Amino acid sequence: MYDFKGKVALITGAARGIGRAIALELAQGGAALALNDVNEAAAGEAIELAVKAGSPKAKFYKFDVADSAACDGAVSAVVEEFGGLHVLVNNAGISIDALLMRFKDEDWKKTLDINLTGAFHLMRSASRPLMKAKGASIVNIASVVGEMGNAGQAAYSASKGALIALTKTVARELASRSVRVNAVAPGFIDTPMTQALPEAARAKMFEAIPLARLGTPQDIADCVAWLASEKSSYVTGAVIRVNGGMYM
């Protein structure tokens, strides 16, 4: 457990899965939480769990990360409500899968708008309050397919690969102001989506993972918590692979 007492964290896509696990891990360290999602009901559950886990204050912010003005407004509201911002976790994302020749323009745009441009919006909006925090951290949730590619995931792979490049650029820009910017690249994670796959598909996934198991949301949350904490104070511009060895 890391010490996040007195720290405020904004986490997008925080209602379920990886985002919720991250929220609960930071809550256990005493962080105050601003949780974003489009699923209000699931976000309400996450808020309750976060408070039980140890967060002194947790509040839900419903906004579309693809909307630049909404991101500006949300960050301003968080800073006003909580008195500052110390950690930003860009976790919100979608995956629309199809082979290249069948991929629709609108699906390409939607995927990049949320996965890539949304992270850009929030990093830009949050940069000033994070610089004032002196020792702040941004963690972007990328993906193993952003490094190795994956058939049928042109838009998702492109968005996550570009997010890695954006992470490194922003890390260089904000380093002089003591804001660290890193990315976590998960592999196959055990979520309701992967649990619903046919057994043959799951078996094929296992074959690609040297550690022979799917990752868990907690595996990702543990890494994010380290990057958000002062224990990683000399780490910036890094891409931490949490993928069981499927890409090295």
Residue whose pair of structure tokens reads 């949300």 in the numeric block: 74
Q: What does each of the 248 residues of the chain score in pLDDT, given as a tens digit?
A: 799 999 999 999 999 999 999 999 999 999 999 999 999 999 999 999 999 999 999 999 999 999 999 999 999 999 999 999 999 999 999 999 999 999 999 999 999 999 999 999 999 999 999 999 989 999 999 999 999 999 999 999 999 999 999 999 999 999 999 999 999 999 999 987 677 667 887 888 889 999 999 999 999 999 999 999 999 999 999 999 999 999 99
Q: How many helices (H) and strands (E) does the chain have?
A: 10, 7
Cα(21)–Cα(24) distance, integer angstroms? 5
What's the pTM? Answer: 0.97
pLDDT of the residue at 193? 67
d(Cα 166, Cα 5) in Å, to the nearest integer?
29
User: What pLDDT, on a 0 to 100 scale, did the predictor assign at position 199?
Assistant: 83
Only one residue has tokens 């000399």, namely 234
Out of 61, 156, 234, 247, the active site residue is: 156
Give catalytic status of residue 61 as yes or no: no
Tell me what pLDDT residue 61 has: 98
Q: Which residues fall within 8 angstroms of residue 170, CB to CB, at 6 or more apart?
A: 123, 138, 181
Of 1.10.10.10, 2.60.120.10, 3.40.50.720, 3.40.50.150, the CATH number of 8-241 is 3.40.50.720
Give the dihedral of Cα atoms 98, 99, 101, 104; nearest 10 deg.
20
Task: Determine contact, residues 14/36, Cβ cutoff 8 Å.
Answer: yes
At residue 194, what is the residue type?
Answer: T
First to last CA, the chain: 27
Kindly write down the DSSP assignment for every residue of 218-229, as one continuous string. HHHHHHHHHHHS
Where are the chain's structural domains?
A: 8-241
Chain centroid to CA 235: how far?
17
